[in-house]
Amino acid sequence: MSDFLSPFWSVYVTVIVLVGIFACGLLLWVTSKYKDTGAHAESTGHVWDEDIVEMNNPLPLWWVGLFIITIIFGLGYLYLYPGLGSNAGQLGWSSRGAYEQEKTAADQALTPIYSKFDAMAIQDVAKDPQAVAIGNRLFMNNCSQCHGSDAMGSKGFPNLTDHDWLHGGLPENIQETITKGRVGMMPPMAQAVGSEEDVKNVAQYVLSLSNSKHDAGLARQGQAKFQQVCAACHGADGKGNTVIGSANLTDNIWLHGVGEQAIVAMIVNGKVNQMPAQENRLTASQIRMLTAYVWGLSNAGATHSAD
């Protein structure tokens, strides 16, 4: 990847662009040397239907004029705008800068709409039909790609409509998650647990915590290892810890798959999940509106359905 960040590529693009423009100018100069000599004009040697001869006549003046205008326009454009490698152009324009200007203008235009809800408690915002409709649009545009349009998630992506929260389901917890993002990590623990048999026994004990289908005898054998190795994060009772984002293993909600095989894979391989921070994409008011919408999804009766 570092090869594409080398200054060589900037020089390469600059040379290719300028050589292309120079070649166009050279072509015009070369073709201008041909003169129309009437009946004695030079033939290209191509003949069709026995008597239709292609003559090597000069280019029409209107065509030459358009060609020259194109070259002048191209040079002017490259002087004002980016196009010659890393050169930013005299106007300093960039697609990112244009996007930021449009985003700022849009945010300013929406400020009066959001200001109405900024002074309200998030629980009250979640009950307002207009706020719910706005929150729904924000969710669809920014969150549904991972959590689904129904917010019920999928394997590896949390369901936001239940009461299972890795980092807590209070409005302030949700707002912090949206703003700063989260990085969840389950380290590989097979070596700490012990043998392959020990890993399977722990997996059976984890299944027993939620009364999932399990082998009771193997679960009893895995309990001690769980308390020694896993309880530090998931708690002695297996109910997790929202401070560090460790999962509750007793509620029969499985983010990365259920069953012995899925749990063994988690113990052996670990898992890293990331919720990207939105503070650089959304305004504080938008994040607050989105927080109210997401909080309302798991609090029945708190919101009105959006159209």
Alpha carbon distance 79, 15 (integer Å): 15
Strand partners, 274: 183
In this prediction, residues 129-155 reach a mean pLDDT of 95
State whether the Cα torsion 251-257-258-264 is positive or negative.
negative
Instruction: Quote the radius of gyration of the chain (alpha carbons, Å).
Output: 33
pTM beyond cutoff 0.75: no
The CA distance from 277 to 274, in Å, is 9
* Cβ–Cβ < 8 Å for 180, 221: no
From the list 3, 60, 71, 74, the residue with the least C-alpha distance to 31 is 60
Contact 42, 55 (CB under 8 A): yes
Mean pLDDT confidence for 179-191: 94
Q: Which one, of 38, 56, 57, lies nearest residue 46 by Cα?
A: 56
State the CB neighbour count (10 A cutoff) for residue 42.
Answer: 11
pLDDT tens by residue, 10-38: 888 899 999 999 999 998 888 777 665 55
With a pLDDT cut of 70, the percent of the chain lying above it is 93
- For residues 305 and 130, which has the higher predicted lDDT (pLDDT)? 130
Mean pLDDT in the chain? 89
Distance CA 152, CA 161 (A): 6
Measured distance CA(47)–CA(167) in Å, rounded: 81
3-state secondary structure of 47: strand
Angle at Cα 153 formed by Cα 150 and Cα 158, nearest 5°?
130
50-87: pLDDT as tens digits: 778 877 777 788 888 998 999 999 999 999 999 888 88
The number of beta carbons lying within 10 Å of the beta carbon of residue 279 is: 12
What confidence category does residue 141 fall into, taking pLDDT thresholds of 50, 70 and 90?
very high
Q: What are the phi and psi torsion angles at 145 (to 5°)?
A: -60, -30
Dist. CA 125–CA 290, nearest whole Å:
10
Strands in the chain per DSSP E? 43-48, 52-55, 182-186, 271-275
